Amino acid sequence: MPITEFLVRNASLYGDEVSLIEVNPELEEKRAITWREYELIEPNPIAMYRREITWREFDNQANQFANLLLKKGIKKGDQVAILLMNCLEWLPIYFGILKTGAIAVPLNFRYTAEEIKYCLELSEADALIFGPEFIGRVEAVFDQITKVKLRFFVGEDCPPFAECYRTLAAKCSTEDPSIALTDEDDAAIYFSSGTTGFPKAILHKHRSLVSSCETEQNHHGQGREDNFLCIPPLYHTGAKMHWFGSLLAGSKAVLLRGVKPKWILNAVSQEKVTIVWLLVPWAQDILDAIESGEVNLKDYELDQWRLMHIGAQPVPPSLIKRWKTYFPNHLYDTNYGLSESIGPGCVHLGTENIHKVGAIGKPGYHWEARIVDESGQPVPQGQVGELTVKGPGLMTCYFNDPEATAKVLKDGWLFTGDMAQMDEDGFIFLVDRKKDVIISGGENIYPVQIEDFLRGHNAIKDVAVIGLPDQRLGEIAAAIIEVKPQHQCSEEDIMAFCSALPRYKRPRKIIFADVPRNPTGKIEKPKLRELYAGGSVVEVQIKS
């Protein structure tokens, strides 16, 4: 069954109920300032930054865009790229593409003009739909992407090199185009995060998308009364596939444009949100805001908030311990996944296993996992090896890249590139990315282990450990440390704290700087290596 059938079902069963809500608190704040400047009172401020649609409107808009694409010559198997910030139009556009039998190609909103061009060419896109934030970037390359014959614009003041989506779609039928689809049809191309180089185009079938719906709802039990707060960008599998649990349940979701702690807590309070997926930095920011007095939890209605879960990166146990101090009644879960395994859930902790925080968990619903050596053979329990996963959400391939596909898909198993180990209870712990392992004086050093340790320091907000070249040892560990606001930290403080680590694991260089992360929360270590491999840093000599 194609995933579009869930939308059709929801429109039929729950047509008048709200499906999606967009909240844009930044717009609210800007307009509130404008009104105060003129000493006026805005009669309906909520209407300015909050929009919503019902399930029937969602399905109708998807049908209108599908019929527009078909009218313009898009056919089954073509590729249609989406370059939008999170907005109320995003998901109806996505489903409209799927209803034509075409392949949806979401693009990272941080891409430069050249990266947009690269991904459009790599995915062989036939059409592009984009928003006002991207006019300059698209204009810079539109005459170079000759295969992209159709360009639709979402917003006011359509540029001359595109057509107005709203005007054209409004003239199209709201009837379902009734294109024959099966779960074996290609559905979407997602791009890898690019933390190890240029992004790869990851092709998924409808069955992958459907499997993520089932896995997500099995893990987190979304029901009709739930309300999911979606903060991460919809171009990534993580955000959308967690929302797929809401799609399967027929429950509503809030698209929040912004990550400030006040905005998150306001959205949870005002919209009666029950489930929130956070990245580690956002959870950290909320806790810091509580502890600094920037926010007061008594100002918000949060009793209905039942579940907080985290994914996309290892989770420090110290963070969850702090979280439970302020939110003792929350269920908590960790999710592990890759775009190649259709986002979150191929491994997950489970809300009943909070005593194992630090682990990514056990194989998820309908998934298998193994930890293997260089020859692909399972390693003994407790030893470090590469995590491999197998399940219904595996990608079909890297689009038009059989060589790269063969390196990671072997006998139905996906080789994730993540180094991991399993404890005596069968819980999997991430050790590090295979490419990030530091070999220093013949010893393997796993940066995540050092990062987790350093996050236990009360002045450290974020940390990244990378390997830097060293003439004698080959590589040494360098720690880039981001200090919390209103806190101070010195090299001596770090050295004293690290005395509890084995000598070979202690970082030999300390760099006080911001830790860059991509929109899905992953540390951008290639950027750090490029920045600091030959840069000026504070070196700390390790003594025996």
437-539 shares the fold of 307-433? no
Please report the pLDDT score of residue 541 as a whole number.
41
Which CATH code for domain 437-539? 3.30.300.30
What pLDDT score does 437 carry? Answer: 76
CATH topology of domain 307-433: Luciferase; domain 3 (2.30.38)
Q: What is the pLDDT of residue 13?
A: 98
Pick the CATH number of 4-258 from 3.40.50.80, 3.40.50.12780, 3.30.565.10, 3.30.70.1150: 3.40.50.12780
Strands 331-338 and 428-433 turn out to be unpaired
The structure's pTM equals: 0.82
Q: What is the mean pLDDT of each run of 10 residues along the chain (544 residues)?
A: 96 98 81 45 52 97 98 97 96 98 94 91 96 95 90 95 96 97 96 68 96 94 96 87 95 94 96 93 90 94 95 77 94 91 88 90 95 93 94 95 94 92 93 74 75 88 87 80 89 89 85 82 79 56 38
With residue 68 as reference, give the H or E element that holds it: helix 55-71
Distance of CA 66 to the CA centre of its chain: 26
Q: Name the amino acid, one letter, at 109.
A: F
**Cα-Cα-Cα-Cα dihedral of 456, 459, 461, 466, to 10°?**
-70
Helix H or strand E segment including 169? helix 165-170
**Partners of 129 in beta bridges:** 82, 152
Euclidean distance between CA atoms 30 and 32, whole angstroms: 5
Asked whether the beta carbons of 247 and 254 are under 8 A apart, the reply is: no
pLDDT of 111 reads: 86
- Cβ atoms of 430 and 360 closer than 8 Å: yes
Q: How far is CA 440 from the centre of its chain?
A: 32
In the chain, domain spans? 4-258, 307-433, 437-539
CA distance 121 to 141: 11
Looking up tokens 């880039």 gives 480
Alpha helices (runs of H) in 193-316, residue ranges in sequence order: 206-220, 237-249, 261-271, 280-292
Q: Is the dihedral of CA 251, 257, 258, 263 positive or negative?
A: negative
Residues with Cβ within 8 Å of residue 377, at least 6 apart in sequence: none
pLDDT at 371: 96
- Given a contact cutoff of 8 angstroms between Cβ atoms, the answer to whether 325 and 301 are in contact is no
